[in-house]
């Protein structure tokens, strides 16, 4: 099987490409620039330099692969257009398309307060207005199964490990910018989490054994709280923690991160991923990783 990873130079994309290569598959990947240099970091992966994944590039990717995994970070409009092109190019082919989305679509805004609600793969929920477009794209991908596309959606929560993440570096950034390890409000809000290598293994399992039209969560548990992560970072740097109002957090991290990524709750369960794909995540200790990992 030939697998193409769109965005193979990104944090998630690199790990996904390596996992497919380790599983013995033929792996290709797209990068926007520096393909020759990045090839040294991804041995066994054939990289294509594609400044833009336009319709011609999509047709080429589909023609030379059996499965496509989109790991690139895009804005909602770019994302919707890209998936529309891939679905059209794969129509009736039976080829596999994997969308790596995220559990931010399930976020409950709380300003740092705890919320006990959790969502399994197909539990009903009402997405935030900012994220309705992403849910629409998820639904377009999943319903393309009726058009002969073996399409699936994977939602990772907070991703950590090997020095990469979205949310954790923002907490480290608060120390650099303010001298304090910051959190929002009470800091009792929680996200579920997954190590990036466990996520990559789930993607490989989905390509091998996943069901067309399925949605899989990639959650292994919940962080104790964002305040707990801030306290670990304060311990690491020998500084104090600090609570921020939403306005202060927005000034520091931007509106989306303040209200959703660091100020809300997104707690998820992954029964379908574990039951149907036999996914067994093994890297569970996020606290030790924040204390000792190379985020700084």
Is the model's pLDDT at 36 over the cut of 80? no
Q: What is the mean pLDDT of residues 224-228?
A: 98
CA separation for the pair 255, 257 (Å, rounded): 6
Is the model's pLDDT at 35 over the cut of 80? no
Q: Which tens digits make up the pLDDT trace of 241-250?
A: 999 999 999 9
Is the model's pLDDT at 193 over the cut of 90? yes
Angle between helices 11-22 and 196-209 (to 10 degrees): 50
**Where do the domains of the chain lie, and which CATH numbers do they carry?**
2-160+193-221+267-282 (3.40.50.720)
Q: What is the pLDDT of residue 229?
A: 98
Q: What is the mean pLDDT of residues 198-202?
A: 98
- Percentage of the chain beyond pLDDT 70 is 100
Is the model's pLDDT at 296 over the cut of 90? no
Residue 37: band (very low, low, confident or very high) from pLDDT cuts 50, 70, 90: confident
What residues contact residue 159 under an 8 Å CB cut-off, 6+ apart? Answer: 11, 12, 165, 166, 193, 194, 195, 196, 199
Compute the mean pLDDT over every residue in the chain, rounded to the nearest whole number: 96
Number of other CB atoms surrounding residue 254 within 10 Å: 13
CA separation for the pair 49, 28 (Å, rounded): 11
Q: What is the pLDDT of residue 43?
A: 86
Q: What is the mean pLDDT of residues 256-260?
A: 96
Q: What is the largest CA-CA distance in the chain?
A: 58
Q: What is the pLDDT of residue 265?
A: 98
Contact 227, 194 (CB under 8 A): no
How many angstroms separate the Cα of 139 from the Cα of each of 7, 31, 49? 22, 26, 30
- Burial track 108-121 (b if 16+ CB lie within 10 A, e otherwise): bbbebbebeebbeb
Q: Is the pTM of this model over 0.85?
A: yes
**What is the DSSP code (8-state) at residue 296?**
-
Is the model's pLDDT at 139 over the cut of 90? yes
How many angstroms separate the Cα of 76 from the Cα of each of 104, 105, 131, 278, 280? 13, 12, 8, 31, 31
């Amino acid at each position: 099987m030939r697998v193409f990873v769109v965005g193979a130079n990104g944090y998630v994309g690199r790990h996904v490409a390596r996992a497919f290569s380790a599983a013995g598959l033929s792996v290709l990947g797209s990068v926007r620039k520096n393909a020759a240099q990045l090839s040294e970091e991804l041995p066994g992966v054939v990289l294509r330099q594609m400044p833009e994944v336009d319709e011609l590039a999509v047709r080429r990717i589909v023609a030379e692969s059996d499965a496509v995994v989109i790991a690139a970070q895009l804005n909602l409009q770019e994302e919707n257009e890209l998936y529309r092109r891939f679905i059209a190019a794969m129509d009736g082919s039976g080829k596999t398309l994997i969308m790596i989305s995220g559990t931010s679509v399930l976020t409950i805004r709380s300003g740092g307060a705890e919320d006990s609600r959790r969502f399994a793969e197909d539990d009903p929920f009402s997405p935030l207005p900012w994220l309705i477009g992403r849910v629409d794209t998820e639904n377009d991908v999943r319903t393309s199964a009726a058009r002969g596309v073996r399409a699936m959606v994977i939602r990772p929560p907070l991703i950590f490990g090997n020095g990469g993440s979205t949310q954790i570096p923002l907490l480290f950034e608060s120390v650099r910018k303010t001298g304090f390890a910051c959190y929002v409000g009470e800091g009792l809000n929680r996200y579920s989490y997954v190590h990036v290598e466990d996520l990559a293994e789930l993607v490989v399992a989905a390509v091998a054994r996943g069901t067309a039209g399925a949605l899989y969560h990639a959650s292994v548990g919940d962080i104790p709280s964002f305040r707990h992560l801030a306290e670990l970072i304060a311990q690491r740097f020998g500084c104090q923690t600090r609570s921020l109002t939403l306005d202060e957090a927005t000034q520091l991290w931007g509106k989306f991160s303040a209200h959703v990524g660091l100020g809300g709750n997104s707690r998820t369960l992954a029964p379908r991923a574990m039951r149907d794909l036999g996914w067994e995540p093994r890297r569970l200790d996020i606290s030790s990783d924040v204390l000792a990992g190379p985020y700084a």
